[in-house]
Structure 1
Amino acid sequence: MNDVSARGLVIVTGGSRGIGAAICRKLAADGYAVAVNYAARSADADAVVAGIRQSGGRASAIAADVSNEDDVRRLFELAQAELGPLAGLVNNAGITGASGRLDELTLDVLTRTMAINVIGTILCARDAVRILSTRHGGRGGSIVNLGSVAARLGAPGELVQYAASKGAIDSFTMGLAREVGDEGIRVNAVAPGIIDTEMNSQERQARVGPTIPMKRAGTAAEIAEAVAWLMSPAASYVTGTIMTVSGGR
């Protein structure tokens, strides 16, 4: 464990499990204080926090629905009150929605997918910019959004609405990076492929795995490494970049 929280606070949305939990653990090991955001799985978030604290890090679990403006404001306020000044944000919270063809999609599923994946990302980034931007008296920082190779592949027959939401994340990342590039904020995204988490069933991993050049699903820890690098000073001249981590897919 590096100097605990020497790098400041990072808020990780959807940090209670899967890729989000791996990101929280990696950032804590790199010396950040971590706010582990969750929507419903409090026990999972508490377990992530407990593991970080046992390793000598600082972390807190904070409940918030990222698609709710009041919840987002409260998330940023509580995180800074408990863990210190904000240094960065990882927009990881996301859902796939129901799998199936577009002509089977319901409005409720579509609305919730866009609310979490797109509106939630934009709301959290907006509040981060208000804190981090030198234009607002901030000290700068880094925002990393979680996209998906689905934005490029389209996910036909399965998750076209999810793919569309991640396409929005790509364009938002590039636009915001250019908007705040001279205000001390770097904005990048990581686009995972098939990753061995709850979001990708074992059946899907077995079906898609053979089509991946590396012939396997990725791990949450591999995505966390990419996020941590983009968050770190090592990526000081990197902004507006979509980093694909997909085994070549």
Structure 2
Amino acid sequence: MEKMSIMEEGSLKKVLIITGGSRGIGAATARLAAQSGYAVCISYLRNKAAASAVVDEILKAGGEAIALAADVSVEAEVVRLFEQVDEALGAVTALVNNAGVLEEHMRVEQMDAGRLSRVLSTNVIGSFLCAREAVRRMSSANGGAGGAIVNVSSAAARLGSPNEYVDYAASKGAIDTFTLGLAQEVAAEGIRVNAVRPGVIYTDIHASGGEPDRVDRVKGAVPMQRGGTAEEVANAILWLLSDEASYSTGALLDVAGGR
């Protein structure tokens, strides 16, 4: 694959890893990031065709992108993902922890340990592991040049998602706390850590919960009276990654139409 070298002012190449980047918010973020001058790595779990389609779109527009398979809940696969990016694109300067899973709507009393393990392993442990690898490369304490991390949380962290997916909501509550703690831990090392909390957004994750049309059902509860788009969330993510947000760290930015 022919690659185009993309450089920032000061000759630091901007390299972004987006986990779960083959669809929805992740794919929209990948496209926008490439337009903004990032060399992008999309990680995906199973849907190689979808990830490759996003990469092809970026390459045709003159950007630089690759897609790599990785299960972020597996430590060895996360380590391998970052090592492959080191070799293919260079040192990571930005990370978007977007990979997440949602399972069928049910009450807590119906959930088994297997489901809880799957949701928390991907949504929480995966974000920790990816952030760990990013900090090891970005931190000035480790000889890095700094960077930015954006965690994709959810308005569910504030609302609890009763009768639907309290486990998913709890995992995103953990992401909020993780964002606050890590932001303070690495603030003096040149790394900013923030989160976006999307509300009801038109993506296919709702099908995983058993209700593909959920956004249309609940949008009446949104003050703006509509669901959001993946591109609207991507715009917020790119702002938090950018120098325009240079004094923002530990922020939880709601992109939820006022809900």
TM range (shorter): over 0.9
> SS in structure 1 opposite 2:213?
helix
CA shift, 1:98, in A, is 2.3
Give 2:248's aligned residue.
238
Query: Pick from 220, 223, 234: which aligns with 1:213?
Result: 223
Q: CA 1:28/1:5 → structure 2, altered by over 3 Å: closer, same or farther?
A: farther
Counterpart residue identity of residue 6, structure 2: V
For the residues of structure 1 that align with 2:89 and 2:171, how far apart are their CA atoms? 31
For the residues of structure 2 that align with 1:49 and 1:140, how far apart are their CA atoms? 26
Q: Which moved more, 1:199-208 or 1:189-198?
A: 199-208
For the residues of structure 1 that align with 2:202 and 2:229, how far apart are their CA atoms? 5
Give 1:4's aligned residue.
6
**Matches for 1:11-30 after TM superposition, within 5 Å:** 11-30=17-36
CA shift, 1:202, in A, is 4.3
Give 1:161's aligned residue.
167
For the residues of structure 2 that align with 1:57 and 1:207, how far apart are their CA atoms? 38
For the residues of structure 2 that align with 1:202 and 1:78, how far apart are their CA atoms? 35
Alignment RMSD, CA only? 1.3
For the residues of structure 2 that align with 1:120 and 1:151, how far apart are their CA atoms? 17
For the residues of structure 2 that align with 1:54 and 1:218, how far apart are their CA atoms? 27
Give 2:179's aligned residue.
173
> SS in structure 1 opposite 2:205?
coil
Counterpart residue identity of residue 248, structure 1: G
State the Cα deviation string for residues 2-61 of structure 1 (Å, max 9, x = none). Answer: x83534110000000111000100111100000010010000000000000000000000
Q: Indicate conservation of the 8 Å contact 1:5/1:33, yes or no.
A: no
Deviating beyond 2 angstroms after TM superposition, the runs of 4 or more aligned structure 1 residues are 3-7, 200-203
Could you state the TM-score of these two structures normalised by the residue count of structure 2? 0.93
Q: Indicate conservation of the 8 Å contact 1:144/1:227, yes or no.
A: yes
> SS in structure 1 opposite 2:106?
coil
> SS in structure 2 opposite 1:182?
helix
> SS in structure 2 opposite 1:86?
coil
Counterpart residue identity of residue 141, structure 1: G
Unpaired runs of at least 5, structure 1:
none
**Percent identity for Structure 1 against Structure 2:** 53
For the residues of structure 2 that align with 1:5 and 1:199, how far apart are their CA atoms? 34
